[in-house]
Amino acid sequence: MKRVLLAALFAGWGVAAAAEFDSVIPMWTKGAATFYVGGEIDGLGAVEFMVDTGSGYLAIGEHILETLKVQGNAEYVRDLTGVMADGTRRVVPVYRLRRVVIGNSCVLHDVEAAVFPGLDRNILGLNALRRASPFVFSVEPPRLVLSHCQDVQA
């Protein structure tokens, strides 16, 4: 009886855990110790994201925001006061992006993005990564493994 119960528990655990670590996203580096993944932002198309687990928010530049607003893919949420890596404080607007795809297999809806003037690279920060957690950031091999992603077809 105990063996049957244990087998049933383990079988049920396997089904419950199936959504974890189901999206494997290849990463690449551009010289320094920074890693990038491909993706897409609705209304913009294909983009690169620098993966930054030290950043609290997904971040985009003002030039990208203007394109997204024209197409109705970004909605103002609030202003955010943050401390930058150099210790300075900055107030930036936060917008909700309708749909963000990480790699080609992980869709996140209604993701908040901090908007910075002059930012020339998109940053994949913890607010987006947390929505696809648990996640694994692997350097060797370079890949980002995400969980609980909505399918691209949905």
Where do the domains of the chain lie? 22-146
Alpha carbon distance 137, 53 (integer Å): 9
- Three-state SS string over the chain comes to CHHHHHHHHHHHHHHHHHHCCCEEEECEECCCCCEEEEEEECCCEEEEEEECCCCCCEEEEHHHHHHHHHCCCEEEEEEEEEECCCCCEEEEEEEEEEEEEECCCEEEEEEEEEEECCCCCEEECHHHHHHCCCCEEEECCEEEEECCCECCCC
- Which tens digits make up the pLDDT trace of 54-83? 999 999 999 999 999 999 999 999 999 978
* pLDDT value of residue 30: 85
pLDDT at 138 exceeding the cut of 70:
yes
Mark 23-58 as b/e (b = at least 16 C-beta within 10 Å).
bebebeeeeeeebbbbbbbbbbeebebbbbeebebb
pLDDT at 2 exceeding the cut of 80:
no
Residue with tokens 């996140």: 108
Number of Cβ within a 10 Å radius of residue 75: 13
Which pLDDT band, with edges at 50, 70 and 90, does 29 fall under?
A: very high
Average predicted confidence (pLDDT) for the chain: 86
Fold held by 22-146: Cathepsin D, subunit A; domain 1 (2.40.70)
By C-alpha distance, which of 109, 92, 95 is closest to 40? 109
Which pLDDT band, with edges at 50, 70 and 90, does 90 fall under?
A: confident
